[in-house]
Structure 1
Amino acid sequence: MNVERRYSDLSYEELRSEIAELKEKALKAEQLGMVNEYAVHERKIIMAKSYMIDPNQFKANEVYQIDGDPAHTFFIEYMNGVFAWGYRKNQQGERAGKEEVALPISMLGEKITR
């Protein structure tokens, strides 16, 4: 993407193209051992994917799996755009950490029903 545009301004197809480009850059950075650059591209991919998901799929006061973090779930206190605000819970269902955090919705998995 030559001209920097916000992910919120891109169409679904433009986001798919951006993600493909970022995956290519991340792979190259990984192959060259550029750990920090790789991490930046991975974060951008997560953000771009969030704009491809309908935030209305996620609800406050619900618990969701966290992709890549099987030891925790995420309790959503409220939604703000493509971010879910809340806190992680450990496997015993207890709050993990005191601080409220925001996760891009593309990091959330299935809703936990109990």
Structure 2
Amino acid sequence: MLYSDMTPSHLENEMKQLQQQGQRAYDEANWSEYEINMHKWYLAKSYLIQDNVHLKIGRTYSLAEAHDRLTVNKLKGIMAWGIRESDAEEIAVPIAMLEEYD
């Protein structure tokens, strides 16, 4: 089932399962599997929170799971496009990965 078709309770269950799988991969030092599970977790969370997130074009946000920031220049659905501070590359990330910083 697609995340976009899931109910909030299905998304929460999926996130719980992905977190457990991610933790297992982390404990086993299986970094590629950990990253895949965490990316899926952020996608599921983005669908869960999309109606309550109010990101602003031109604003810079911290990137979760990274020591970097993103200046948002476009929003579409659950994805935010912007320029990554560390290398000036344009990337797209799930909105749940963006965190406000001071």
Task: Give the TM-score taking structure 2 as reference length.
Answer: 0.82
Tell me the distance in 2 between the aligned counterparts of 1:80 and 1:51.
12
Q: Which amino acid aligns with 2:26?
A: E
Q: Secondary structure at the match of 1:61?
A: coil
The structure whose residues are more often strand, as a share, is 1
Q: Quick check: 1:67 aligned with 2:67?
A: no
Q: Secondary structure at the match of 1:69?
A: coil
Deviation at 1:74, TM superposition (A): 1.4
- The equivalent position to 2:27 in structure 1, one of 28, 31, 34, is 31
Q: Quick check: 1:104 aligned with 2:76?
A: no
Q: Secondary structure at the match of 1:57?
A: coil
Q: Secondary structure at the match of 1:68?
A: coil
Q: Which amino acid aligns with 2:56?
A: K
- How many equivalent pairs are there? 101
* Aligned 1:79-94 pairs, distance under 5 A: 79-89=75-85
Task: Go from structure 1 to structure 2 and tell me whether the alpha carbon gap of 1:35 and 1:89 turns closer, same or farther (over 3 Å shift).
Answer: closer
Alpha-carbon displacement from aligned partner over 1:84-114 (angstroms, at most 9, x marks no partner): 1110225xxxxx32x32111111100166xx
Q: Quick check: 1:57 aligned with 2:47?
A: no
Which moves more between the two structures, 52-61 or 76-85? 52-61
Task: Give the TM-score taking structure 1 as reference length.
Answer: 0.75
The structure whose residues are more often helix, as a share, is 2
